[in-house]
Structure 1
C-alpha cells in the first residue's frame, strides 16, 4: 500500500535538489515488526517478523561521473552529503545517516560488485526514527535494491538481506542478527515470516486476525543499538555457547530444547550468563509454539506467549526498561488485549500488541494516560498493516 504523497514528495525533492533528470525512479522498502522471537536471531533460533506498509521511500538516478550524492527529507538540515567512489569508503561520525547507504555500497564492492558510475538519491521515511521498527534495515535493503536496479547486479532479495546485515555488522558496528534485513527484503503481504536463522529456511504464515488489529506503541524513548548493551548481550550468549559446546554438539543456543538446557545449565556458573542463555533457549521454543498456535487459530495462546516473551526479556535478558515495561504491563490489564510485548532490540523503541477491534480506543486511552502519568511524556500509537518487500513504485 504505497503512500502516493510520500512518492510525490521524494520525486519533487529529487528535482529540487539535483535538477530535472532522465531515468529517475521511485522505490520503497518496508519497516518491520517482530511478533515474537526476540534476541534469538544471532543465537541460531527462530523469529517471526512481518514487513509493514510504512517504510522508506527513495528517488534515485545514475550519474555520469564517480560522485554519489545523498539527501534525506527527514534530515533536510544536513543538506546534500557527497562521496567520490575513487576515495576510500569508510564510516565516520560526520557522515551521520549516510553511513547506512554507504555501508551497503561498501559491502557490494566487497563482493566484487563495483559501481562504474555514481548516483543521486533522495530518501524519505515514515518509520519513526529510533523506534525499533528497523529504519536502518529498511534503508540498507532499499539501497541494495536500488543498486541492483540501477547497475544490473545479479543478487536475490535474500542476498540483499545478507549484504545489509554484513554492512551493519562490519561498517556500522552493530552486531545485529539477520532478522531485520530478512523481514524487510522478503516481506509478503498479510503474512509473517517464520524464519530459522540457523539455516535461513523459512515459510510464510498467513496472519488472520479476524476482528483484531496489530498496534505498535512507541515509547518515544530513542534507542541506538550500537551505543546500547546490544553487543554485550550477544557476546555473553556467544560465551555461553562456547562453554556448552565443550559438552554438547550444538551450533547455536537455538539448537537446545528446554529439557537439554535445564539438564546442562549448571555448566554456566555465572548466574547472569545462565539467565541470558535461558532466554535464548526458551524464547526460541516459545516462537515455534506461537506459530503453531497461530496456524491452529488459537490467538489467545499466541497472546499468552507474547506476554511470556516480554517477561523473559524483562527478567532474564534485561533489555526492556521502565518505558517498555509500563506499556506492556498496562496493556495486559486492558480487556480485549490478546497479547502485548516489547519488539526489536529493546532499551526503548516499541511494543507490539494484538487488540480486538472494539477495545482499540479504550486501549489507546488507558495505556496512553497511564504511561504519561508514570513516565512523564506521551507514547504514540500506530495501527499497522502487514505489507510486502522492496519494490520499484
Structure 2
C-alpha cells in the first residue's frame, strides 16, 4: 500500500472517531519511520558504531489539541481506545498505550507541560520483524506534541527522551540506535552513529539498481532475552580481564581484534569468541563506510555475509531459520549480501538484491522456506527514506 493510501485510511478512521469533536483546521499528521541496520550488530551496548537507516515503513499520528485535559488515544490497527487525564500517568492494562504514556511522563520530567489531545495512529511497520515499530511510535508522538504545544525540543532531545520512555516507563532496556535512526533518517543514506559520543555521519546508499528485502522468519525463540543479557555479561567479563593489561579500557570499543587474539587463552571460551566478534564488527562498520564512499556495494555485501558468519558462530545469536535463509542466498548472483538483523534468535534477514531480480528472489525464498519449515515467509521490500516529519 502507498503512503498516501495509508495516511488517508488513518485520517478516515480519525474523523470517523472524532468527527463531532474535531476542528479540521487544527488536525495535523506526522510520520516516523521504522529502521533497518545494515552492519554493526550488538555493538551499541559496547560503545561501538552502528550503521542504521530509516525506511519507507512508518507509524503515522493524526492528532489535534483539545480544550480540556483529556487524552484520547485511538489505535487504528487494533480498533481500541484508551482515555485518561493528561496528568494521570498510572499504568493501564492496555500494554500498547504504555509507549504514549511514557512519552508524556518524559515531557513532565523535563519540566514541560502539555494540554489534552486526541489522536488516531497506525501504520505499516510490521510488528515483531525487527524494524523497531516502538521507537517509530515514540518519536512520532513526541515530535507531534513538540509541534502542537511548542515545547522547543530539538531532534536530539526527542531521541533521548523517546529512549528514556522505553527504558523507564515501558521497562525495555533498549539502546539509542532505533530512536536515532527513526528521527535522523535521510533519503538514500545510512547513518554511522558513534554509540559512545552520539556523533553521526551520513554515507550514500544509492538505490537505483538495488533493493533491500527483509525476509521474516516469523519465529522468535524463547532464548532471545536471556541470551541477550548473557552476551552483555560475557562482554563485561572480557573487559574486566583485559583491563588488567590495559587499564584505560572502558568497553570493547577501546579494544582491537589483535588484543583479543593476544589474550585468547586467558579470556577462554566463549568470552574470547564474543570479544573477537564485537571488536571485528566495530572495525567492519568503519570499513563498510569506506566502501560506500567508493560506491562499492559488491564488497559491502561481503561485509554483510561476514557479519552473519560472526553472529552465527562467534556471538551465537542466530538460529536455524535465519541461517537457512542466509544460506539460500550464497550462490545467488542477484544477491550481493545477506545477514540476520537485530538481537537474534528469530526476526528478519536483510538482503541486498538486484532490483530486476527481486520478484524471482522472493518467490524462490518463499518456496524454500515453506518446504523446509511449513511457514509462509513474509518479505518486505524497503527503500531508505527521510526521518520523522510532519506530513503537510
TM bucket by the smaller chain?
Answer: over 0.9
**Which 5+ residue runs of structure 2 have no aligned equivalent?**
none
CA change 1:81–1:247 in 2 (3 A) is farther
Distance 2:77 2:181 in 1: 23
The residue that corresponds to 2:73 in the other structure is 70
Check 1:342–1:40 CA distance in 2 against 1; reply closer, same or farther (3 A cut): same
Equivalent position to 1:381, from 368, 379, 382: 379
The corresponding residue for 1:177 is 175
Deviation at 1:256, TM superposition (A): 1.7
Write the distance in 1 (CA, Å) between the matches of 2:375 and 2:368. 10
Aligned partners of 1:41 and 1:47 also within 8 Å: yes
Structure 1 residues 239 and 62: alpha-carbon distance in aligned structure 2, compared to 1, 3 A threshold: farther
Q: Distance in 2 between matches of 1:200 and 1:310?
A: 25
CA distance in 2, matches of 1:153, 1:267: 53
Corresponding residue for 1:95? Answer: 94
CA shift, 1:216, in A, is 1.5
Structure 1 residue 334: Cα displacement: 1.7
CA contact (8 A) 2:89 2:105 kept: no
Determine if contact 2:329/2:335 at 8 Å carries over to the other structure: yes
Secondary structure, in 3 states, of the residue corresponding to 1:130? coil
Moved more, 247-256 or 200-209: 247-256
Counterpart of 1:292? 290
Question: 2:85 aligns to what?
Answer: 84
Q: Which residue of 2 aligns with 1:275?
A: 273
- Indicate if the aligned counterparts of 1:131 and 1:223 stay in contact, CA closer than 8 A: no
- Does the aligned pair in 2 maintain the 1:42–1:178 contact within 8 Å? no
Kindly state the Cα deviation for residue 229 of structure 1 after the two structures are TM-superposed.
3.6
Decide whether aligned partners of structure 1 residues 62 and 326 sit closer, same or farther in structure 2, where only a CA change above 3 A counts. Answer: same
Q: Secondary structure at the match of 1:193?
A: strand
Match of residue 37, structure 1, among 31, 40, 58: 40
5+ residue gaps, structure 1: none
When residues 172 and 230 of structure 1 are mapped into structure 2, their CA distance, relative to the original with a 3 A threshold, is farther
Shift of 1:210: 4.7
2-structure distance, mates of 1:82, 1:267: 57
Query: Are the aligned partners of 2:188 and 2:385 in contact in 1 as well (CA < 8 Å)?
Result: yes
Aligned partner of residue 78 in structure 2, secondary structure? helix
Aligned residue in 2 for 1:236: 234
Shift of 1:255: 2.2
Is residue 19 of structure 1 aligned with residue 19 of structure 2?
A: yes
Q: Deviations over 1:351-373 (max 9, x none)?
A: 11111234323321222211111
Corresponding residue number in structure 2 for 1:113: 112
* Counterpart-to-counterpart distance in 2, 1:265 and 1:152: 54
Task: Supply the distance in 1 between the matched residues of 2:112 and 2:240 (Cα, whole angstroms).
Answer: 35
Q: Distance in 1 between matches of 2:124 and 2:345?
A: 21
Q: Matches of 2:55 and 2:332 in 1, distance apart?
A: 25
Q: Secondary structure at the match of 1:53?
A: strand
Greater shift, 188-197 or 329-338, is seen at 329-338
Q: Which runs of 4+ in 1 moved over 6 A?
A: 223-226
Secondary structure of the structure 1 residue equivalent to 2:68: coil
What residue number does 1:364 align with? 362
User: Which of 167, 179, 186 is equivalent to 2:184?
Assistant: 186
Measured in 1, the distance between the counterparts of 2:110 and 2:148 equals 17
Give per-residue Cα distances to partners, 1:33-65, cap 9 Å, x unaligned.
111111111111111111111110111112222
CA RMSD in angstroms comes to 2.1
Following the alignment from structure 2 to structure 1, what is the Cα–Cα distance between the partners of residues 302 and 110? 44
Cα deviation, residue 2, structure 1: 7.3
Cα distance in 2 between the residues matched to 1:152 and 1:196: 30
The one-character-per-residue Cα deviations of 1:256-310 (angstroms, maximum 9, x if unpaired) are 22112222344434x2333223222111111111111121122221111100101
Instruction: Supply the distance in 1 between the matched residues of 2:209 and 2:89 (Cα, whole angstroms).
Output: 54
- Report how far residue 377 of structure 1 moved: 0.5
| TM-score of the two chains, using structure 1 as the length reference | 0.92
C-alpha spacing 1:118/1:274, structure 2 compared with 1 (3 Å): farther
CA distance in 2, matches of 1:3, 1:223: 32
